[in-house]
């Protein structure tokens, strides 16, 4: 029986967790293994849920402290905290793993066998790495050593990659540097960031369950990364979202797919910021009524709105003017008829 089949048995047959043995030679029952889970955003939730559904003993969850969200600055729990509380799992929100000595004492007292990391958002200090018997393993959404760092999914889309994936690796003292345990490839296609993130999160959760049992049973040979081939990603800022209409439409299309919802992609119209939230690429030369088409000058044809780039065109679908709500492009043009024929900066 495959590990995934066992997961389905747990979910649908309600098989007792106490009866489930880890496949292989350990002789451990699933809930004998004490796991501490480190994670914060939506990407980490499927992995946590998979561990819970499989019957693992999640001793605690460590997540980033609650932060104000949105214009109203409402304090909301992280998606991982919300999931943990729904399953009555202890949650810790240290502001600094490195500086909080009292929390480190608590962590050691919990005495985990294994720690699982999924988009926690902070580097794990080396003193933590030495505590669990089986160390730390991390779910990273790229095919390492490519795209180490904080934004591998966005960077893959931004660069126009056809393929990405998920790697499960041992955590060491450097960022995404440790030996890999397993990986799975996945198509990028024309997906936007949130769509691709969701797919990779589910793949990572499945791969995690399969990897843990093989890792504990010594069935996986750790593979050192080729560090000479490593590439690194960065945190994207508001300025990274500024659209340059002098670039080919394909570059702008990738930028829009990669950087929404955060930090967002934008241009300047009528001295205000106009976010381009969703768009299509129009790579054919459109039939047009106008004699001249200029880069960055909006035109309308057969009811559709286009923005010419240096090569091909962008067809915006959802936009948001500064201080207004996001709307579809037809509604926007109906409310702002001077948009057509204007130049975007």
- Is the domain of 314 the same as that of 184? no
Structure tokens at 56: 């693992």
Q: Which CATH number is 253's domain given?
A: 3.10.25.10
Tokens, residue 15: 């098989």
End position of a domain, from candidates 206, 229, 252: 229
Residue 59 included in any domain: yes
Per the listing, tokens 């948009």 go with 339
Task: Answer yes or no: is 112 within a domain.
Answer: yes
| Same domain? 157 vs 85 | yes
Question: How far, in Å, CA of 79 to CA of 194, rounded?
Answer: 15
* 177 is a domain residue: yes
Determine contact, residues 113/56, Cβ cutoff 8 Å.
Answer: no
Q: Please give the chain's pLDDT, 345 residues, in tens.
A: 344 433 333 333 333 333 344 555 555 666 678 999 999 999 999 999 999 999 999 999 999 998 776 666 778 889 999 999 999 999 999 999 988 999 999 999 999 999 999 999 999 999 999 999 999 999 999 999 999 999 999 999 999 999 999 999 999 989 999 999 999 999 999 999 999 999 999 999 999 999 998 999 889 989 999 999 999 999 999 999 999 999 999 999 999 999 999 999 999 999 999 999 999 998 755 544 455 688 999 999 888 999 999 989 999 999 999 999 999 999 999 999 999 999 999
Same-domain pairing of 30 and 132: yes
Residue 215 lies inside a defined structural domain of this protein: yes
- Give, to the nearest 10 degrees, the angle between helix 45-54 and helix 79-86: 20
Task: Compute the radius of gyration of the chain from its Cα atoms.
Answer: 24
What pLDDT does 114 receive? Answer: 97
Q: Are 122 and 244 found together in one domain?
A: no
Does 303 lie in the same domain as 195? no
Residue 345 in any domain: the answer is: no
**pLDDT at res. 8:** 34
Residue 211 lies in a domain: yes
Query: Is position 30 within any domain?
Result: yes
Same domain membership, residue 180 and residue 269: no
Q: How many domains does the chain have?
A: 2
Same domain, 189 and 303: no
218 and 249 co-located in one domain: no
Domain boundary among 229, 261, 277: 229
Residue 344 within a domain: no
Same domain? For 100 and 219 the reply is: yes
What pTM was computed for the model? 0.88
Of 209, 229, 249, at which residue does a domain stop? 229
Residues 15 and 137 reside in one and the same domain:
yes
For residue 121, the domain's CATH number is: 3.40.50.170
Residue 76 domain boundaries: 3-229
Do 183 and 262 lie in one domain? The reply is no
What is the reported pLDDT for 276? 98
If asked whether residues 203 and 264 sit together in one domain, one would say: no
């Amino acid at each position: 029986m495959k590990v995934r089949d066992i997961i389905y048995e747990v979910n649908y047959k309600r098989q007792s967790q106490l009866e489930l043995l880890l496949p292989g030679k350990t002789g451990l029952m699933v809930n004998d293994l004490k796991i501490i889970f480190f994670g914060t955003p939506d990407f980490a939730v499927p992995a946590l849920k998979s561990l819970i559904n499989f019957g693992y003993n999640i001793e605690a969850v460590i997540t980033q402290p609650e932060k104000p969200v949105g214009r109203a600055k409402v304090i909301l729990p992280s998606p991982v905290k919300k999931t943990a509380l729904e399953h009555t799992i202890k949650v810790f929100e240290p502001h600094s793993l490195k500086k909080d000595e009292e929390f480190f004492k608590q962590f050691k007292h919990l005495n985990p066998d294994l720690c699982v990391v999924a988009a926690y958002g902070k580097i794990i200090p080396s003193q933590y790495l030495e505590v669990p018997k089986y160390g730390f393993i991390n779910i990273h959404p790229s095919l390492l050593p490519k795209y180490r760092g904080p934004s591998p999914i966005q960077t893959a889309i931004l660069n126009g990659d056809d393929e990405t994936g998920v790697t499960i690796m041992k955590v060491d003292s450097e960022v995404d540097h440790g030996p890999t345990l397993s990986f799975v490839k996945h198509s990028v296609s024309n997906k936007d960031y949130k769509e691709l993130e969701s797919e990779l999160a589910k793949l990572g959760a499945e791969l995690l369950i399969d990897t843990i049992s093989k890792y504990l049973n010594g069935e996986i040979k750790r593979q050192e990364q080729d560090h000479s081939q490593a590439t690194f990603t960065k945190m994207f800022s508001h300025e990274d979202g500024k659209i340059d209409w002098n670039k080919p439409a394909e570059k702008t299309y990738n930028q829009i797919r990669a950087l929404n919802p955060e930090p967002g992609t934008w241009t300047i119209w009528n001295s205000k910021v106009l976010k381009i939230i969703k768009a299509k690429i129009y790579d054919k030369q459109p039939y047009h009524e106008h004699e001249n088409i200029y880069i960055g000058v909006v035109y309308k044809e057969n009811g559709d709105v286009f923005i010419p780039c240096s090569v091909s065109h962008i067809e915006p679908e959802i936009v948001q003017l500064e201080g207004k709500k996001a709307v579809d492009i037809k509604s926007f043009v109906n409310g702002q008829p001077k948009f057509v024929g204007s130049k975007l900066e």
